[in-house]
Amino acid sequence: MLKNCKKEKACMYNIDNVREDFPILIRQVYGRPLVYLDNGATTQKPRCVVEAMVDEYYNVNANVHRGVHFLSQQATELHEQSRETVRRFIGARSASEVLFTRGTTESINLLAFSFGEAFLREGDEVVVSAMEHHSNIVPWQMVCERKGARLRVIPMTDAGTLCMDAYRQLLSERTRIVCCTHVSNVLGTVNPVEEVVREAHRHGIPVLIDGAQSTPHFPVDMQQLDCDFFAFSGHKIYGPTGIGVLYGKEEWLEKLPPYQGGGEMIKNVSFERTTYNELPYKFEAGTPDYVASHALAVALDYVSALGMENIYQHEQALTRYAMEQLQQLEGMRIFGPPAAEGQHDAVVSFLVGNIHHLDMGTLLDRLGIAVRTGHHCAEPLMHRLGIEGTVRASFGLYNTKDEVDALVAGIERVRKMF
């Protein structure tokens, strides 16, 4: 019997109890306590997620949808219950609007290919923002090149926010879709995506929201956002790697052709003609990662038990504290908007004096502090800022003020070495 991972103690947000759920946090790096501040890249996993995967492999492992035997039916039930868990978590109207993918990147590639095949023609335009991750730039560049369409870019201000007036001027009868990140993985900017959606819908234009950096940090609701497509990854919300979600409004998904062909996505196949399966299976060719889908559902249950609003308030306080403390350091440059409520979320990117970001990150690592360095898969954004890269500290539900203090002390120690 698979274990229920909703913990009684999780009903109240207690950081000490939470940290006990993540065994990796007690390990040492180079003889020092691990301070893990790279959650924007991937989060650590609670015991219940790993145990759920082990339990399913040991006790329920069988291919889904295709078998009449007991194990296959049980595995299928877990897989489809997981889809329903995702539906509830993001507020989709129907489980058929929830597509399982390998992550945000595949979700966007799926949409770019299928939408491009159905709706993009020569001279059409796709709008993206200046702060997009490469995963929300390159797939659209590829389809634009294939179809003879043009990529248009919403500019951003020096403060790291979108120029909404310029965005409105970009929308025209040639615009076919708008693609915008919910939260910048570099700047921590929380974009006004509801306004982005409203403006696009005034022109009858659908909108994709990249939710990779928002879904782990605060509640998201598809009915409130009213976006047409929404993508996120399991591994950034305390679930396993290799699983992700593309949400799409049913009326849009019905219009799009399949992304891949094979088993599962068909109703009937002959050498003369193939008819496709109903939603969501039309877009899920081949054997799905049914173990990871279940583990993702366990992760969503875990954060739901903690309370997404509680997680948000904890991380907001941590982000504000970090920015306040970092700004006191000599030579500190922090990129992105101020840490005002609802504007900056769980990410702090910075440079210190003339210290190269790679040098800073490498030396912090020797102190047991894990941060990310480089362009963070956002080279156009770096060009806009006039820099090569940054050091990025990104927070999760288990991080503490003591860890922020360790980061600040580590940066000051490194700074004095140069």
Report the run of H or E that residue 198 belongs to, with start and end.
Answer: helix 193-202
Q: Helix, strand or coil for residue 33?
A: strand
Radius of gyration of the chain from its Cα atoms, rounded to whole angstroms: 22
Cis preceding-peptide flag for 258 (omega within 30 of 0): no
- DSSP-assigned letter for residue 162: B
190 within 8 A of 219, measured Cβ to Cβ: no
d(CA 252, CA 254): 5
Q: Among 3, 31, 1, 13, which Cα is nearest to 304's?
A: 13
Q: Helix, strand or coil for residue 108?
A: helix
CA distances from 117 to 268, 285, 314 (A): 22, 18, 43
- DSSP-assigned letter for residue 294: H
Contacts of 383 (CB under 8 A, 6+ apart): none
Which residue among the candidates 5, 48, 144, 377 is catalytic per the annotation? 377
212 within 8 A of 104, measured Cβ to Cβ: yes
180 carries an active-site annotation: no
Q: Which residues are catalytic?
A: 377
